[in-house]
């Protein structure tokens, strides 16, 4: 919220960060479902008086925001996607309070996955996976929506079919050109859907959960290529672009995708003393590192924003 005050421009927002919640649903046939969410709420609201006149009468207390997370989760009688829960919260804040013009709700979901015991899905047993499903909803009172979903911490590695050649060489360059190296990264992907109004958001309960799985599969399949032969990567940049391109090619309701793909180096190991070479690198023994790492990121968007 921006206001002009005393001849200055004043912007403010307030909210509650890191509200942790787990919600369990128990089906009548004995199967349990669980989600664990870390919720961040930020409200743009007309409460300038609290900053400049010690008048809190227009403030939604951040403690109330926290309680709302638990109350709304209780109200959800069935398993729902993290996107749908973020939309529910944002809808509540923008419709219930006159003062609130925009709600920004970000949620990170912990990847609890059902375990298999004796080859069968367990009714109430879960283990923690690795990458996280995230979402950000920005909802205005008018119903105008910005819906972003993403993946955080998707660690991928391939032991071949990667190289890096033809880059600038100058007096500081020592990196040899290669057509054979390891490629390792930890993908952060953020994609924006083209559902720009509340009223056109798909209502099927599993829609965004399935879309998340589908996008993850397209990203991974493009990174690795076919199982027997793979796909040669001439650079992280090229692979990143192919992954973004495949996502926009496959999903017409995704308007843009941002990918961050650090290049996590696996350094060749060569060890010698003055008499012998103890270890000679033959694409087999590496020193894994994460510092320093290359940082490569890009956003690919359509020119039009509507489907």
Ligand X SMILES: O=c1[nH]c(=O)c2[nH]c(=O)[nH]c2[nH]1
The residues that are catalytic are 16, 62, 265
The whole-angstrom separation of Cα 47 and Cα 63 is: 16
Residue 175 in the binding site for ligand X (CB under 6 A): yes
Q: Write down the least CB distance from residue 162 to ligand X, Å.
A: 8
* Cα-Cα end-to-end distance for the chain: 30
Among 237, 242, 258, 301, binds ligand X (CB under 6 A): 237
Contact 80, 205 (CB under 8 A): yes
Q: Pattern 129-168, binding to ligand X, x per CB under 6 A? A: -----------------------------------x----
DSSP 42-110: EEEES-HHHHHSS--TT---HHHHHHHHHHHHHH--S---HHHHHHHHHHHHHHH-TTEEEEEEEEEEE
# chain residues binding ligand X, by CB under 6 A? 7
**Closer Cβ to ligand X, 12 or 263, answer by number:** 263
Stretch that binds ligand X, among 36-44, 115-123, 210-218, 229-237 (CB under 6 A): 229-237
CB 123, min distance to ligand X, A: 45
| Candidates 86-94, 107-115, 141-149, 233-241; binding stretch for ligand X (CB under 6 A) | 233-241
Minimum gap (Å) between residue 102 Cβ and ligand X:
38
Number of Cβ within 10 Å of residue 28's Cβ equals 5
Query: Rule CB under 6 A: is residue 235 a binding residue for ligand X?
Result: yes
231 binds ligand X (CB under 6 A): no
Contacts of 30 (CB under 8 A, 6+ apart): 123
CA gap 194, 146 in Å, rounded: 8
Residue 291: phi, psi to the nearest 5? -135, 130
Identify whether the C-beta of residue 242 lies closer than 8 Å to the C-beta of residue 187: no
Distance of alpha carbon 41 from alpha carbon 18, whole angstroms:
9
Q: Does 241 sit near ligand X (CB under 6 A)?
A: no
Residues 252-291 that bind ligand X (CB under 6 A): 263
* Cβ-based nearer residue to ligand X, 41 or 244: 244
Q: Which of 189, 236, 244, 257 is in the footprint of ligand X by CB under 6 A?
A: 236
* Burial per residue of 132-147, b for 16 or more beta-carbon CB atoms within 10 angstroms, e otherwise: bbbbbbbbbeeeebbb
Stretch that binds ligand X, among 194-202, 205-213, 230-238, 284-292 (CB under 6 A): 230-238
Work out how close the CB of 164 gets to ligand X at its nearest, in angstroms, rounded to a whole number: 4
Q: Is 185 in the site for ligand X (CB under 6 A)?
A: no
Work out how close the CB of 235 gets to ligand X at its nearest, in angstroms, rounded to a whole number. 4
Least spacing, CB of residue 182 vs ligand X, in Å: 11
Q: Rg of the chain over CA atoms, in angstroms?
A: 24
Place of tokens 């993908």: 187
DSSP state of 175: P
- Choosing from 266, 294, 300, 301, the residue that interacts with ligand X (CB under 6 A) is 294
Q: Which tokens sit at 89?
A: 């919260």
Nearer to ligand X, 30 or 176 (CB): 176
Nearer residue to ligand X within complex by CB, 21 or 296: 296
Query: How far apart are the C-alpha atoms of 13 and 69, rounded to whole Å?
Result: 18
Binding site for ligand X (CB under 6 A): 164, 175, 235-237, 263, 294
């Amino acid at each position: 919220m921006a206001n002009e005050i005393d001849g200055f421009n004043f912007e403010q927002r307030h909210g509650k960060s890191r509200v942790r919640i787990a919600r369990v649903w128990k089906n009548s046939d004995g199967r349990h479902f669980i989600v664990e969410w870390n919720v961040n709420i930020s409200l743009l609201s007309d409460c300038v008086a609290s900053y400049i006149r010690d008048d809190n009468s227009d403030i939604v207390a951040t403690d109330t925001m926290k309680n709302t997370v638990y109350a709304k989760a209780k109200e959800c009688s069935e398993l729902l996607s993290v996107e749908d829960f973020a939309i529910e919260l944002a809808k509540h804040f923008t419709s219930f309070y006159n003062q609130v013009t925009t709600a920004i709700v970000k949620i990170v979901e912990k990847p609890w996955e059902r375990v298999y015991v004796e080859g069968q899905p367990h009714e109430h047993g879960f283990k923690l996976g690795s990458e996280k499903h995230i979402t950000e909803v920005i909802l205005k009172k008018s119903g105008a929506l910005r819906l972003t979903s993403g993946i955080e911490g998707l660690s991928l590695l391939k032991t071949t079919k990667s190289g890096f050649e033809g880059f600038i060489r100058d007096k500081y360059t020592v990196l040899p050109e290669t057509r054979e190296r390891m490629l390792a990264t930890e993908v952060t992907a953020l994609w924006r859907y083209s559902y720009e109004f509340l009223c056109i958001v798909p209502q099927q309960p599993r829609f965004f959960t399935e879309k998340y799985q589908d996008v993850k599969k397209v990203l991974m399949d493009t990174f690795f290529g076919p199982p027997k032969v793979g796909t040669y990567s001439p650079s992280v940049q090229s692979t990143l672009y192919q992954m973004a391109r495949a996502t926009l090619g496959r999903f017409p309701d995704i308007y843009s995708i941002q990918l961050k793909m650090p290049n996590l180096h696996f350094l060749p190991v060569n060890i010698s003393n003055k008499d012998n070479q103890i270890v000679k690198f033959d694409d087999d023994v590496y020193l894994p590192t994460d510092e320093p790492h290359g940082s490569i990121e890009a956003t690919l968007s359509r020119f039009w924003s509507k489907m």
